[in-house]
Chains A and B, each alone.
Chain A
Amino acid sequence: MNNSIEISVKNLNLWFGKFQALKNVSIDIPKNQVTSLIGPSGCGKSTFIKTLDRMNDLVDNVKITGEVRYQGTNILDSDTDVVELRKQIGMVFQKPNPFPKSIFDNVAYGPRVHGVRKKKNLNEVVERSLKAAALWEEVKDRLNESALRLSGGQQQRLCIARLLAVEPEVLLMDEPASALDPIATSKIEDLIYDLKKDYTIVIVTHNMQQAARVSSNTAFFYLGELIEYAPTIDLFERPRDKRTEDYVTGKFG
């Protein structure tokens, strides 16, 4: 694995009330690589990814212990600036969720919130972000149309462009292609592959072939535990743990 670590998680435990959703998870997420998280429903992978940008703070009765080190600090500390953190570590969700605004305003939304006002600067950032999200050619002549008129795959790429506009370091993707058809899915996968040059990407997926295709490293979660974390080719060709073997061969349960 790459020596340069973007996020280092140590002994992470998370409870929703009395239910322990994450059990002593330790994992290093390498910089400028794609890391996939796989596992059956309820295994904790989505809970884990949400911890990386403090999205679980929004849940009642949540208790978290351990450490998530990013840029030298433990982001779980109470004095973390969560708004600034989420600018640097952005998330894309399963269902594309564009704002009911124009394509342009969706992408310009983040920069405006962060103080960019000049039209010229906004034009630049919107074009750059849409290009990086491989959407520019499809929408450049209709930037003022409602984002809701785009197809599902375009909406998802728009959401990625919206993230890129605030110049994050890390992209978290929670099943970003599960609501899309195969062609839109392959566009998202190509995009993920291209984006890793500039970003660290963590992706949760139920689609093991997708994990195999897009990621350098894959982590298998089960019942809140990180069971196995290895280069993707090793995890799918010769997993060490029987539970991983049973899961990737589809013989679970």
Chain B
Amino acid sequence: MARNRYVRKLKELRQNVVDMGALTQQSVEGVLIAIETSDTALAKRVIANDDEVDKFDRKIESQCMTLLALEQPMARDLRMIATSLKMITDLERIGDFVVDIAEEVVAMGKPIHIPVSATKFNELVADVKSMVADSIETYAKGNVQKARSFEARDDRIDFLYKNIVENMVNALAQGKCSTETVSDVASLLYIIRYLERIGDHAVNIGNRVCYMEEGDRRYLK
């Protein structure tokens, strides 16, 4: 095996992306607990955690640019670096949505009243949580089969999102919300929108992993 130093740098890059992914995943899970328990202190810790995610973003981008500038990577290496460079933007955006959700939790400062059946909301939360975890795992392990399932799983998230929005709008229209719960509805609409967007970024990561593993650019469209 030649180019030992280069190979080591590629491994470091991939490990950093996995670590950034783990940190992002931790934030997602933290903010979901914060919603459930109305834990504003936890929400604030999650907000603070985003600085670490952003630091990873800058560090990894710099690593990628150095590898591209100095090593002329080709084939699988090139695809891994390109995937990492794009994927950290998805992770960084997921981190930003987590902050947005956490800020809603802090602003409400009390348990959220969900004016419709909580079942679908809980399903949405569980689906987004597992998609984020799986997207990072697919990158770490190069699991194309799992990555390919993301589009269908995202369709399910979109369905739940639309369904919850529709039910909440109906509840509002039918005057089922008190003055107090109307603001909860507004916050909740934001939160589920952010969750739905997080799902989209997880899909992006899945597609990039497929490209990284198979080199087919159709995954990038």
Contacts and interface: CB of A to CB of B under 8 A. Distances in A.
Interface stretch (B47-55, B69-77, B88-96, B155-163): B69-77
Contacts of A245: 75-76
A79 interface: no
Interface of B: 1-3, 6-7, 72-79, 214-216
Given A212-B74, A249-B77, 16 more contacts: A208-B74, A209-B72, A237-B74, A237-B79, A238-B75, A238-B215, A244-B75, A248-B74, A249-B3, A249-B74, A249-B75, A249-B76, A251-B3, A251-B7, A252-B2, A253-B2
Nearest to A244: B75
B2 A248 contact: no
A252 to B, nearest CB: 6
Nearest to A250: B3
24 contacts: A236-B74, A236-B75, A236-B78, A237-B74, A237-B215, A238-B75, A238-B79, A238-B214, A238-B215, A238-B216, A244-B75, A245-B76, A248-B75, A249-B73, A249-B75, A249-B76, A250-B2, A250-B3, A251-B1, A251-B2, A251-B3, A252-B2, A253-B1, A253-B2
A245 B1 CA distance: 13
A239 interface: yes
A208 B71 CA distance: 12
Contacts of B79: 237-238
A214 B73 CA distance: 18
Contacts of B7: 251
A236 B82 CA distance: 14
Contacts of B2: 250-253
B69 to A, nearest CB: 13
B78 A237 contact: yes
Contacts of B76: 245, 249
A237 B217 CA distance: 10
A251 B3 CA distance: 6
Contacts of B72: 208-209
A237 B78 CA distance: 7
Nearest to B211: A238
**Best-surrounded residue of B74, B78, B215 (most CB of chain A within 10 A):** B74
Nearest to B1: A251
A250 B73 CA distance: 9
Nearest to A248: B74
Nearest to A237: B215
B79 to A, nearest CB: 7
